[in-house]
Chain A
Amino acid sequence: MLGHRKVESKDIAIIFKEEYSNLVAVLFHYYNLQDLTLAEDLVSETFVKAMKTWSHKGIPDLPKAWLRRTAKNLLVDYHRRQQTFNQKIAPNILNKSDKKYSSNITEEIIEDSQLKMMFVVCDPSLNNEAQLCLALRILSGFSIDEIAIALLSNKEAINKKLYRAKKSIKLNRDQSFNLSRSEYSDRLDNVLRVLYLIFNEGYYTSTNELTIRHELCWEAMSLCKFLEDKFSTENTRVTALLALMCFHASRLEARSKDENVIRLYDQQDKSKWNQHLIKKGESYLNKSANGDNVSKYHIEAAIAYWHTTDKPEKWSNILHLYNNLLLIEYSPQTAMSRTYALAKVKSPKTALHEALKLKLDNNQYYYCLIAELYRMDDDRSQEKSYLQKALNLATRAHEKTLIQQKIEAAKIASILF
């Protein structure tokens, strides 16, 4: 039957990556290890053992089960070793959880441990970057190299961040463990924020490694889907975030590297949008409306939905949603997007009047927005001077090139018309 398909060596890397987070989570939670570094070390040891054994005996039929068994045995060995150092504590641990050691690690145990792990890793006392690194390492099994590429950093810096983050989790572990149902909901916001950060990191960062960018997005989506299965009935924010991710992800393929810095969807090739993901997004968006709570994820998902349509009321709805989003949470990006929508609904002149009041000086995207509004208003010389301001601030190569191209176009237009 299916189970007998021969596992090939190229599959091993994938299996390791998938099992990494599963095993770390189970050791940490189910077996009460409560030490991330130790859990990771044991999992690495498991993989080393697998490589050694499999290289001469061949890959077993059920490699994941093999890994789980081995990890568990290594944990028992670890406790035995500890026992000789510490006669008092270790026997207790072993006796208390004897029942656990005799049974297999089931999918259910893995899911439960993974879920708990999300809430430990997204510890609000850690800073954004630390939570991101930790989530990618522990929840998604990314290698240090991959994290460094994804976050535009280097190996040493990532290692340092991870080291500090794990240390801090070890210190706070009493707070992170045995969270009550209400504490789970309290922390849920933070978990969602981290998933959204991971997604955005993949969606917006300028690293040239497209595969890694996309992988970040899919990873965030799969974690969000997992969370949605568990929490959607009591919390529609999770469903709304998943809808938002579906809409954005539908455009992943259509986005090219040199896309407009203020993200004008108008200029994308809509035929390349993934209709299947858009449909998924719509169904999650509808599902997320089954509650009283309207979160920023609901609003952002609705905005993303309207962007996928061509209906006449599109822009006035988008403007309305941005107005609401600003009332929940101000951000310069939202303020700028709102102003762009205003230009679409009212006129570029009205939008310009409001754009100049935003006073987001020294923000290249702000200058790009004003330039774009001047372009819509046919004032190419003002457009050019704002693009110049943006160019002076731009640091990323592909953004510089893009602004440069626009300046050329504005120059030509101001001469010819």
Chain B
Amino acid sequence: MKDFMLLFHSEPNMEYQPTPQEIEAEIKKWHNWIGGIAAQGKMKATDALGYQGKTLHTDGTITDGPYVEVKEMVGGYLICTTETIEEALELAKGCPIFDVGGKVEVRDIMVFEN
């Protein structure tokens, strides 16, 4: 078994002002998708990232947000445990990020021997 990280990318839409009902429905969608992975016993960790962000550059300058220069940003991640990367991709299907035209990047998590 190996750990893989699913990274959720999407284009930020700062104008979008969802109603509380819309937010709740969105959260439910994510919850149900994550619950499905957890039900298979393959879930390790997950978090959603908010809009507050700053980036520190090599020269010491600090810019606002991760999103000013990029077309897309990471909105969250999920770590799952599967045999293969194909299986992790299978889990990525049904991710609610696709509903907003986003995408899921699947990466293996490196393990270093001591």
Instruction: Tell me the A327-386 residues at the B interface (CB within 8 Å).
Output: 327, 330, 332, 334-335, 338-339, 342, 354, 357-359
Q: Complex formed: what's the CA distance from A319 to B35 in Å?
A: 9
Q: Counting CB contacts under 8 A, is A326 at the interface? A: yes
Residues in B with CB closer than 8 Å to A320 are: 28, 31
Residues in A with CB closer than 8 Å to B110 are: none
Contact with B along A298-328 (1 / 0, CB 8 A): 0000000000000000001001101110110
Report which residue of B34, B38, B46 has the largest number of chain A beta carbons within 10 angstroms of its beta carbon: B38
The main secondary structure of chain A at its interface with chain B is helix
Minimum CB–CB distance from A73 to chain B (whole Å) comes to 57
Instruction: Tell me the B44-72 residues at the A interface (CB within 8 Å).
Output: 46
B40 touches A323 (CB 8 A): no
Q: Which residue of B lies closest to A322 (CB)?
A: B35
Minimum CB–CB distance from A151 to chain B (whole Å) comes to 28
Residues in A with CB closer than 8 Å to B39 are: 326, 330, 334-335, 338-339, 354, 357-358
Q: Which residue from A334, A335, A342 sits with its C-beta under 8 Å from B32?
A: A342
Contact with A along B16-54 (1 / 0, CB 8 A): 000000000000100110111011110100100000000
A323 touches B43 (CB 8 A): no
Q: Which residue of A lies closest to B38 (CB)?
A: A326
Q: Which residue from B28, B32, B34, B43 sits with its C-beta under 8 Å from A330?
A: B43
Report which residue of B31, B36, B40, B43 has the largest number of chain A beta carbons within 10 angstroms of its beta carbon: B36
Residues in B with CB closer than 8 Å to A332 are: 41
B31 touches A323 (CB 8 A): yes
Q: Which residue of A lies closest to B39 (CB)?
A: A335
Number of A-B contacts (CB under 8 A): 44
Minimum CB–CB distance from B34 to chain A (whole Å) comes to 7
Minimum CB–CB distance from B84 to chain A (whole Å) comes to 15
Minimum CB–CB distance from A265 to chain B (whole Å) comes to 20
Q: Which residue from A319, A323, A359 sits with its C-beta under 8 Å from B38?
A: A323
Q: Complex formed: what's the CA distance from A327 to B31 in Å?
A: 10
Residues in A with CB closer than 8 Å to B28 are: 316, 320
Report which residue of A319, A320, A324, A326 has the largest number of chain B beta carbons within 10 angstroms of its beta carbon: A326
Minimum CB–CB distance from B41 to chain A (whole Å) comes to 5
Q: Which residue of A lies closest to B41 (CB)?
A: A330
Residues in A with CB closer than 8 Å to B38 are: 323, 326-327, 330, 335
Q: Complex formed: what's the CA distance from A339 to B28 in Å?
A: 15
Minimum CB–CB distance from B45 to chain A (whole Å) comes to 9
B41 touches A323 (CB 8 A): no
Minimum CB–CB distance from B20 to chain A (whole Å) comes to 15
Minimum CB–CB distance from B112 to chain A (whole Å) comes to 26
Q: Which residue of B lies closest to A326 (CB)?
A: B38
Q: Complex formed: what's the CA distance from A320 to B28 in Å?
A: 8
Residues in B with CB closer than 8 Å to A327 are: 34-35, 38, 43, 46
Minimum CB–CB distance from B85 to chain A (whole Å) comes to 17
Q: Which residue from A316, A319, A322, A358 sits with its C-beta under 8 Å from B40?
A: A358
Residues in A with CB closer than 8 Å to B32 are: 319, 323, 342
B35 touches A359 (CB 8 A): no
B40 touches A357 (CB 8 A): yes
Residues in A with CB closer than 8 Å to B41 are: 330, 332, 335
Minimum CB–CB distance from A329 to chain B (whole Å) comes to 10
Q: Complex formed: what's the CA distance from A346 to B31 in Å?
A: 14
Minimum CB–CB distance from A22 to chain B (whole Å) comes to 44
Q: Complex formed: what's the CA distance from A5 to B70 in Å?
A: 85
Residues in A with CB closer than 8 Å to B36 are: 342, 354, 357
Q: Complex formed: what's the CA distance from A334 to B40 in Å?
A: 10
Instruction: Tell me the A15-73 residues at the B interface (CB within 8 Å).
Output: none
Q: Which residue of A lies closest to B91 (CB)?
A: A357
Q: Complex formed: what's the CA distance from A357 to B38 in Å?
A: 11
Minimum CB–CB distance from B32 to chain A (whole Å) comes to 7
Minimum CB–CB distance from A390 to chain B (whole Å) comes to 19
Residues of B bordering A, CB below 8 Å: 28, 31-32, 34-36, 38-41, 43, 46
Q: Can you offer 26 A-B residue contacts whose CB atoms are under 8 A?
A: A319-B35, A320-B28, A320-B31, A323-B31, A323-B32, A323-B34, A323-B35, A324-B31, A326-B35, A326-B38, A326-B43, A327-B46, A330-B39, A330-B41, A335-B39, A335-B41, A338-B35, A338-B39, A342-B36, A354-B39, A357-B36, A357-B39, A357-B40, A358-B39, A358-B40, A359-B40
Q: Which 10 pairs across A and B sit closest by C-beta, in order of nearness?
A: A323-B35, A326-B38, A335-B39, A330-B41, A323-B31, A338-B39, A354-B36, A327-B38, A357-B40, A326-B39
Given pairs A324-B31, A326-B39, A357-B39, 16 additional interface contacts (CB within 8 A): A316-B28, A320-B31, A323-B31, A323-B32, A326-B35, A326-B38, A326-B43, A327-B38, A330-B38, A330-B39, A330-B41, A335-B41, A338-B39, A354-B36, A357-B40, A358-B39
